């Protein structure tokens, strides 16, 4: 292992009028440092395609994890998949991206559009060797990785986007590659890259996709730790313990909550300067303490961050808001979702007497709930999360 | 003279932003920019009676409805 980590983001558009997706992405991470992503696209659409792609992705990810040869994997697949009565074939295309110890990638591709690779933000033409197994041409690649390498796998729904509508030949792979090369910058996460491409496909399809369309992005990035402290400890005697833990951690630091910030300022013997600028009318202004990256109000700001987090792992429709805005919640969202990879929460469980007023919609339970839900969302984003309560 | 408005959670929900904006406008309109400095502060420990506004050591309870009266009576008179 090294100080790098993998960031993954995938999402599908379902063919217009269907309820099930015929593409399937399966991601597995083993304790031995192996990461495997399989994107399978089943023949046809709807239930049949869904079954084919589910079987294919599960079989492949399980067998590849057990270090079984590609030949055996493909043979097993051909023998297992149900034969389509209409077309007389058992068929599902697939792309496998296997990454070992964040150092080497192995890409195995069968009949999906070829994986697009970006290195240093530029398109990178990786070597491929062709192999014939069971009359299928399979492309294999082995490549040493560098930090910020990006792999984008897709189903053919992406390259058919816009066919017979706004484009004669669809959104061809070269077009997609050029689009993402132009749109890419280093701060984009895998989920953001996936969204950029999928939104463009959806647009070309005039929001009525003619085929299931899936984008799966894997990005190798440097680990970035971040610590966030919110709330004073339940037992005031634990304050110095909490402060020692928080301030001795490495990486960026966020403090949420007025009382928490005042106590921290006292500990650091630095002034706490409150600002009065409202970038978002709903979110209280941020403050400054020298040495702390961001100081915000507590529960209102964090509720908003939670809203953004839930959207980000779902449809990612509010990226435009939090990726640009200057209010405290948007700033926290950027630091947590886009930047950090390992996040430690230091949560104080003191009950704020001011918040127990029945007129106010802030209670102790709500606060704890926000932290738990947010930690959950962040885990789904693939972050390492550590929560300590005081 | 420094006038500090609490922007903590409770006071925020009770209308800190409206109070801040009204005070900024009133200070501007009365040409007191040079004399009155507006600032923000976190919790003043007076949440039940928010929005808390502090002048010197004295804490006042102000709401978006009473902010003009507060400005006339307590800010202007002290300049």
Model confidence over A343-361: pLDDT tens digits?
999 999 988 766 666 666 6
d(CA A301, CA A39): 37
Q: Which residues of A touch B12 (CB under 8 A)?
A: 284, 297, 300
Q: How many domains does chain B have?
A: 1
Mean predicted confidence (pLDDT) in A34-63: 92
Instruction: Among B8, B40, B42, select the one facing A276 at the smallest CB separation.
Output: B40
Cβ contact A34:A46 at 8 Å: no
Confidence (pLDDT) at A128: 95
Q: Which of A257, A262, A300 sits opposite B12 (nearest CB)?
A: A300
Q: What is the pLDDT of residues A50-96, one digit of tens each?
A: 999 999 999 999 999 999 998 999 888 888 887 766 666 667 899 99
Residue in this structure with the two tokens 């930047």, named with its chain if needed: A339
Cβ contacts from A onto B, under 8 A: 70
Segment holding A307, helix H or strand E: helix A299-313
Strand partners, A132: A137
Whole-angstrom Cα distance, residue A38 to residue B77? Answer: 73
- For residues A36 and A68, the answer to whether their CB atoms sit within 8 Å is no
Q: Calculate the CA A250 to chain-centre distance.
A: 23
Predicted pLDDT at A354: 64
Q: Which residues in chain B are closer than 8 Å to A274, comparing Cβ atoms?
A: 7, 39-42
3-state secondary structure of A238: helix
pLDDT band at A216 (very low <50, low <70, confident <90, very high): very high
Confidence of residue A1 (pLDDT cuts 50, 70, 90): very low
- H or E, element range at A315: none
How many C-beta atoms surround the C-beta of residue A277 within 10 A? 10
Q: Which of B4, B13, B52, B53 to mutate to test the interface with A (most CBs of A within 10 A)?
A: B13
pLDDT bin (cut points 50, 70, 90) of residue A15 is very high
A265 pLDDT higher than 90: yes
CATH of the domain at B22: 3.40.30.10
Residue range A185-212, pLDDT digits in tens: 988 889 899 999 999 999 999 889 989 9
A274/A285 Cα distance (integer angstroms)? 8
Does residue A187 contact residue A224 with C-beta atoms inside 8 Å? no
Å between B77 CA and nearest CA of chain A: 24
Beta carbons of A349 and A365 less than 8 angstroms apart: no
Give residue A361's pLDDT: 63
CA A113 – CA A305 distance, rounded (Å)? 36
Which of A274, A361, A362 is the closest to B42 by Cβ? A274
Per-residue confidence at A148, pLDDT binned at 50, 70, 90?
very high
pLDDT in tens, B24-78: 999 999 888 888 888 888 888 788 887 999 998 889 999 999 999 999 998 888 8
Q: In chain A, what percentage of residues exceed pLDDT 90? A: 68
Measured CA to CA, the distance from residue B4 to residue A16 in angstroms comes to 57
Of A262, A276, A354, the CB nearest to B39: A276
pLDDT at A389 (0 to 100): 94
The second-level CATH assignment, the architecture, of A4-222 is 4-Layer Sandwich (3.60)
Res. A254: pLDDT tops 90: yes
Six-digit token string for A387: 């929560």
pLDDT at B1 over 70: yes
Where along chain A do the CATH 3.60.40.10 domains lie? 4-222
In angstroms, the CA A151 to CA A382 distance is: 17
Cβ–Cβ below 8 Å for B20 and A278: yes
**Whole-angstrom Cα distance, residue A249 to residue A247?**
5
Instruction: Please give the residue range of the domain that contains residue B6.
Output: 2-78
Cis bond leading into B51, ω under 30°?
yes
Nearest-CB residue to A284 (from B16, B21, B47): B16
Grade residue A329 by pLDDT with cuts at 50, 70 and 90: very high
pLDDT at A107: 96
Residue A301: name the closest of A287, A319, A289 by CA: A287
The residues on A that touch B, with CB distances below 8 Å, are 257-259, 261-262, 272, 274-276, 278, 281, 284-285, 287, 297-300, 353-355, 357, 360-362
pTM of the model: 0.77
The complex's ipTM works out to 0.77
User: Euclidean distance between the first and final Cα of chain B, in Å?
Assistant: 7
Find, in chain A, the residue whose alpha carbon is nearest to that of B13.
Answer: A360
């Amino acid at each position: 292992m090294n100080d790098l980590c993998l960031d993954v983001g995938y999402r599908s558009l379902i063919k217009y009028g269907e309820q099930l997706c015929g593409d399937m992405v399966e991601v597995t991470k083993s304790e031995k440092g192996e990461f495997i992503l399989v994107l399978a696209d089943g023949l046809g659409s709807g239930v049949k395609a869904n079954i084919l792609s589910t079987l294919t992705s599960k079989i492949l990810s399980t067998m590849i994890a057990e270090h079984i040869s590609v030949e055996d994997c493909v043979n097993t697949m051909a023998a297992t998949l149900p034969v389509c009565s209409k077309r007389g074939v058992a068929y599902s295309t697939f792309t496998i991206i296997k990454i070992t110890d964040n150092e080497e990638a192995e890409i195995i591709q069968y009949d999906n559009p070829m994986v697009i690779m970006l290195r240093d933000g530029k398109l990178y033409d990786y070597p491929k060797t062709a192999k014939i197994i069971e009359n299928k041409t399979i492309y294999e690649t082995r490549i040493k990785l560098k930090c910020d390498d990006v792999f984008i796998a897709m189903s053919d729904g992406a390259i058919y986007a816009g066919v017979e509508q706004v484009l004669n030949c669809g959104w061809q792979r070269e077009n997609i590659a050029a689009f993402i090369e132009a749109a890419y910058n280093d701060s984009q996460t895998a989920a953001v890259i996936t969204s950029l491409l999928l939104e463009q496909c959806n647009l070309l399809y005039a929001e009525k996709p003619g085929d299931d369309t899936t984008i799966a992005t894997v990005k190798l990035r440097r680990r970035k730790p971040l610590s966030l402290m919110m709330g004073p400890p339940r037992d005031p005697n634990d304050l110095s313990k909490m402060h020692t833990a928080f301030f001795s951690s490495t990486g960026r630091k966020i403090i949420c909550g007025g009382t928490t910030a005042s106590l921290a300022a006292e500990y650091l013997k630095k002034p706490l300067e409150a600002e009065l600028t409202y970038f978002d009318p709903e979110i209280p202004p941020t403050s400054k303490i020298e040495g702390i990256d961001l100081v915000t109000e507590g529960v209102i700001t964090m509720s908003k961050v939670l809203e953004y987090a839930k959207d980000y792992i779902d449809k990612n429709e509010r990226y435009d808001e939090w990726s640009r805005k200057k209010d405290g919640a948007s700033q926290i969202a950027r630091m947590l979702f886009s930047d950090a990879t390992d996040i430690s929460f230091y949560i104080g469980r003191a009950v704020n007497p001011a918040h127990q007023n029945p007129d106010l919609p802030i209670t102790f339970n709500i606060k704890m709930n926000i932290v738990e839900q947010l930690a959950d969302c962040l885990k789904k984003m693939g972050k390492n999360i550590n929560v300590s309560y005081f | 003279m420094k006038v500090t408005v609490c922007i903590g959670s409770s006071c925020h929900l009770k209308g800190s932003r409206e109070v801040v904006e009204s005070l900024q406008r009133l200070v501007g309109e009365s040409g007191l920019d040079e004399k009155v400095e507006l600032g923000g502060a976190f919790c003043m420990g007076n949440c039940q009676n928010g929005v808390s506004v502090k002048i010197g050591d004295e804490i006042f309870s102000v709401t978006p409805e009473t902010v003009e009266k507060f400005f006339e009576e307590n800010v202007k008179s002290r300049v």
